Structure 1
Amino acid sequence: MLASFFATFLIGLREGLEAALVVGILVAYLTRLDRRDALPKLWTGVGLAIALALTVGAIFTFGAYMLTFEAQELLGGGLSLLAVAMVTWMIFWMQKAGRTLKAGLEGGVDKALRGGVWALVAIGFVSVAREGVETTLLLWSMVQSFGDTPFALLGALLGLVAAVVLGWLIARGMLRLDLGRFFTWTGGFLVVVAAGVLAYAFHDLQEAGALPGPFGTGAPIDPATGLVATGWAGFPFGWAFDVSDAISPGGPLAALLQATVGFMPAMTWLQVIAWVVYIAVVVPLFVRGVRANRRPKATASPVAATPASHSADAPAAHAAPQLSDAARLPDAAASVTHPNGAS
């Protein structure tokens, strides 16, 4: 109960805070340009993105009830694979593009202001829709695997609310948060969560018959018990292990392990292989990205002397670079450190 609540709360908090920071940057930039008249168009796009995420979640949730058991498992496995792909891509995209996120968003707003009403609506929609759909798919997959729907949904909802509040406080300058460290740690957590969702996706696909496993006719059988073989005797399409006698599948310990590391008391060999391969590939890449972002950048050497062609009484503008008007204007989001150290 508490495990599923905490896992979905943390995911809702992280993903919601990403979206809240993006919206905060857009709102702050429009305010800085003295274009408050454009804010309703931006909020329209944000509202449409939220509506899309809710619609996607509703379709998957209520539409699945009309399907057969095999079709439900096939849908769940396929969507879980899609969620893992989106989350993995987003983690590495944020590592790579986090430092230029603010400049990219502001450049998009500049183009949208020249493009008319719908261009600015599109900026708000695209900026939030990606996070919204990704969060919906990930939470939907996790809720399906937990089986504790009310507390899992409550955790996700409270996480999103907390993200909105934190985003507003940060944009107002009322709260300073080391977002680089926050997104690094939660990114690592998401990698482990994604590995667990991937393992559960394989479980669903095996139950649906899309992949061979212990639920089909081709499963290896233990001649002594007549049941599906467990351990090395069950490799590769039987059970890797079954510790249900020691860890109750419906107990709090099982829920905690499944919510954090994707562990289930009984897992097939394909599930274990998928989990291990994902961790072995993604974790080193993630750690390398974190180290690369922490590595100090080389700075350009200062100019030692003024070129001889410049006279001593040259204008002061040649003596020091001048700040642009935009750089002088206050920016509520300028003090916000973006994911992975961007500002």
Structure 2
Amino acid sequence: MKIQAYLKQITALIFYFFFATVQITAQETDRDIQSAIHLLDYLSKDYSAAISDGEVIDEAEYTEMLEFSQKIVDLAQGIGMETKTKDSVMADIGRLRSLVLAKAPHRQVKIVAESTKWVIINATGYEVSPLIWPDQTNGKELYAQSCFQCHGPKGDGNGSMAAGLIPEPTNFLDSTSMASLSPLGAFNTIKLGVEGTSMRAFSELTDQEAWDLAFYIKSLRFQNEETEVASLQKVFDQEKARFSLKEVATLSDDELSNKIGSVPDAGKKLRALRIIAPIGHSSSLAVARDHLHQAMNSYMDGDKGAARQHALIAYLEGIEPVEVRLKANDPKFTSQLEQKMMDVRQTIEAGTSTDMVQAKISSALTTIDAAEQKMADQQLNYWLSFFLAASIMLREGLEAFLIIALILALIRNTEGAKKALPYVHGGWMAAVLVGIAGWFLSDWIIGISGQNREAMEGAISLVAVIVLVFVGFWLHDHSHTKKWKDFVEKRIGDQLRGKNMIGLGVFSFMVVFREAFESILFLQAIGLETPSGERSSIGFGVLAAFALIAVLVFIFVRFSKKIPVRQLFRYSSWVITLLAVILIGKGIHAIQEAGWLSVTGFSFFPRIDWLGIYPTTETLLAQVLLLCLLLLLYHFSNSKNRVVHVN
């Protein structure tokens, strides 16, 4: 049995080291991409301040352009892309560097910088737009907290701390400079800062907060124009059908104006796109719609891979963030919505006709409209947020509690095994502490893509399944009379001594950590939908759930002492078998949602989330195979122990 314990520990350690390495690498890569995009934007916009007619007009600015053009070369070398694409990108960046050295006209530099930026974005799949439409009211508050001292209360660059700053703070009311700046450029400047200037990086802001601030900054030069908001809202509602959130976020005012064209009220349309947001814009469902439309466009263009990726993002970043709230309102409807989103992905993967894909996407869009109506009918107030937070923690906590309480009951009923208690308690307590720390670091967790979040959940579930298989087999094996007698006589022996007890601690940690991680994601989703003044409801909801779980743990542990231990072992092995089957279903499903595993669905098969049953070949096959494996192990154990009993 020591081999099994070592395998449990090695599996857990491999998982943690692997995932930590992947996440650190992913973070570094994303930052390199963001920095390269930021510098290309900066070069495209500010080069004209350094060079005019082939002459240097500002030595400091030109020195900065030279430095930044070289830094772009260095950053691009570390960005992962297909070989052919990377060679092309490096050639373009080399050309850009040569243009800067040659003091070429601004227009040439701008064309190369812009085209290279978009090649990098498309090649890496880097997300360059906010998940939901930015909240400019929050942006205004953030501006008052962090920006007005230098940029001034009105954004004219004449703040109380502006005197003596070189270069001078940007004047956000200046049409000439601001017309060429996109919200994406402002976002990158906020997050990364500008080296060699007083503009520091505001890394403490979440991505969504930085987008709120960037959109507010871009709106400042339009704020003084007098137009009724109702009139602008009407114009915006017409224009948003033509412009996606991604376009509004990544295009400068000049580029937006070019796309609007020379039409009546073109200026009013630009202003509407800069200062108005969709009604109900806080919902990520707008992201789902946008990416479904892009999926259809990509599929019609023959790019199946891009269509699949857009369909995946539509679910991960559009549907999943509001899933908890929808489930609280109508669980059956939520399952239907998830199934329709999966149908879209499955149809695209199957390479069916354009008409079939269009039909599936139209059906999904209709269901999304219904989802938005359900959410509009039930706004998140204090008590609804409290109820949702408490429900989430109770559900996730009870899943972990069933296993931990079972282990504690077994140990408390076993003479000589109580020395294992500190390891079990230490494991789940460590997971709770990591969960609490994770809440404060949840901006980073939310910042990783929905794809990686699902992959992490799936990996944790599968590791937990491996551990549960060992535990379930061990419990079943020791439910036989002679085995149990030997077990008691040896006072647990090697099973709960030395590194095997550490294995119990690792298992205890894994069980709780998975639920803590999932809880953070759901609670953050509720936090995004809850007014800032009422977010204490989330904390009180979590505390209420903890209190109820503590009561249930106390009752279970106290009364489990009266249960015969041998029977408890036998029943527990079957309970753990059920949990393993549930978890492998959830794990495979999460990996499918991350897009790492294909989806082959059954429209007629039921979906039962709490049992980990999903209408796909992959999840059902994994559950059947695991169940067969466990039954074979139990049969082998029974046969072996019958022989021992006869002898």
Whichever residue aligns with residue 81 of structure 1, its letter is L
Partner of 1:48: 426
- Paired with 2:643 and 2:402, the residues of 1 have a C-alpha distance of 27
Partner Cα distance (2:580, 2:421) in 1: 31
Post-superposition CA distance 1:242-299 (Å, at most 9, x none): 56xxx7xxxxxx6xx432x3224xx222112212222232234335535765788247
Aligned 1:244-259 pairs, distance under 5 A: 257-259=608-610
Contact 1:56–1:133 under 8 Å retained in 2:
no
Instruction: State the match for 1:19 in structure 2.
Output: 408
The amino acid of 2:624's aligned partner reads V
CA pair 107-194 structure 1, distance change in 2 beyond 3 A? closer
Question: Which letter does structure 2 place at the counterpart of 1:201?
Answer: G
Q: Secondary structure at the match of 1:241?
A: coil
Matched, 1:81 2:462: yes
Give 1:270's aligned residue.
618
**Structure 1: how far apart are the matches of 2:545 and 2:634?**
27
CA contact (8 A) 1:81 1:198 kept: yes
Corresponding residue of 1:239: 601
1:190 aligns with 2:604: no
CA deviation profile, 1:95-129 (whole Å, cap 9, x unmatched): 335634444556579xx9xxxxxxxxx78963751
Q: For 2:645, what is the secondary structure of its paired residue?
A: coil
Match of residue 160 from structure 1: 553
Which residue number in structure 2 is paired with residue 223 of structure 1?
A: none
Aligned counterpart, 2:145: none
Amino acid of the residue matched to residue 404 of structure 2? E
- Greater gyration radius: 2
How far apart, in 1, do the equivalents of 2:575 and 2:559 lie?
20
Q: Counterparts of 1:288 and 1:186 in 2: how far apart (Å)? A: 18
* Native 8 Å contact 1:202 1:270 kept in 2: yes
RMSD between aligned residues: 4.8
TM-score w.r.t. structure 2 length? 0.29
2:613 maps to amino acid: F
Length-normalised TM-score, structure 1: 0.50
Confirm or deny: 8 A CA contact 2:460 2:510 kept in the other structure: no
In 2, the alpha carbon distance for the partners of 1:276 and 1:106 equals 33
Q: Given that residues 457 and 518 in structure 2 are in contact (C-alpha distance below 8 angstroms), is that contact kept between their aligned partners in structure 1?
A: no
CA contact (8 A) 2:431 2:516 kept: no
The separation in 1 between residues aligned to 2:417 and 2:584, in whole angstroms, is: 39
Please say if residues 414 and 565 of structure 2, whose CA atoms lie closer than 8 Å, have aligned partners that are also in contact. Answer: no
Check whether the contact 2:424–2:508 (CA below 8 A) recurs between aligned residues. no
User: Counterparts of 1:132-151 in structure 2 under 5 Å?
Assistant: 132-136=508-512, 139=515
Q: Secondary structure at the match of 1:177?
A: coil
Return the alpha-carbon distance in structure 2 between the equivalents of residues 124 and 163 of structure 1: 25
Residue 88 (structure 1) shift? 1.1
Distance 2:520 2:473 in 1: 26
| 1:1-343 correspondence to structure 2 within 5 Å | 9=398, 12-22=401-411, 25=414, 48-58=426-436, 62=442, 64-96=445-477, 99=484, 100-105=486-491, 126=502, 129-136=505-512, 139=515, 157-166=550-559, 170=561, 176-213=562-599, 238-241=600-603, 257-259=608-610, 261-264=611-614, 267-286=615-634, 288-289=636-637, 297-298=645-646
Check 1:51–1:146 CA distance in 2 against 1; reply closer, same or farther (3 A cut).
closer
Q: Residue 44 of structure 1 contacts residue 124 of structure 1 at CA under 8 Å; is this kept in 2?
A: no
CA distance in 2, matches of 1:12, 1:68: 29
Report the secondary structure of 1:240's partner residue: coil
Q: Cα 1:108–1:278, aligned 2, differ >3 Å: closer, same or farther?
A: closer
Deviation (angstroms), 1:153: 7.1
1:207-245 Cα shifts (integer Å, max 9, x gaps)? 2122223xxxxxxxxxxxxxxxxxxxxxxxx312356xx
Q: Secondary structure at the match of 1:274?
A: helix
Counterpart Cα distance in 1 of 2:515 and 2:490: 28
Which whole-Å CA distance do the structure 2 matches of 1:101 and 1:138 have between them? 31
Distance (whole Å) between structure 1 residues aligned to residue 636 and residue 500 of structure 2: 32
Q: Is the 8 A contact 1:184 1:290 kept in 2?
A: no
Aligned residues: 233
How many angstroms apart in 2 are the aligned matches of 1:272 and 1:178?
35
Percent of residue pairs identical: 15
Aligned in 2, Cα 1:297/1:160: closer, same or farther, shift over 3 Å?
A: same
**Which whole-Å CA distance do the structure 2 matches of 1:142 and 1:285 have between them?**
31
Question: In 2, are the aligned partners of 1:57 and 1:137 still within 8 Å (CA)?
Answer: yes
2 CA distance for matches of 1:15 and 1:93?
16
Preserved contact between residue 83 and residue 141 of structure 1 (Cα < 8 Å): no
Point out where structure 2 has 5 or more consecutive residues left out of the alignment. 1-327, 329-390, 527-540
Question: Contact 1:5–1:152 at 8 Å: present in 2 too?
Answer: yes
Q: Kindly state the Cα deviation for residue 183 of structure 1 after the two structures are TM-superposed.
A: 3.2
Amino acid at match of 1:94: L
- Post-superposition offset of 1:202: 1.5
* 1: CA distance, partners of 2:397 / 2:634: 22
* Shift of residue 22, structure 1, vs aligned partner: 2.3
Q: Secondary structure of 1:239's partner?
A: coil
- Give the residue type in structure 2 aligned to 1:53: A
Q: 1:205 to 1:188 in 2, by over 3 A?
A: same
Deviation at 1:80, TM superposition (A): 0.8
Tell me by how many angstroms 1:5 deviates: 6.5
Change (3 A) 1:292 1:181: farther
- Relative contact order (C-alpha < 8 Å, sep 6+): which is higher? 1
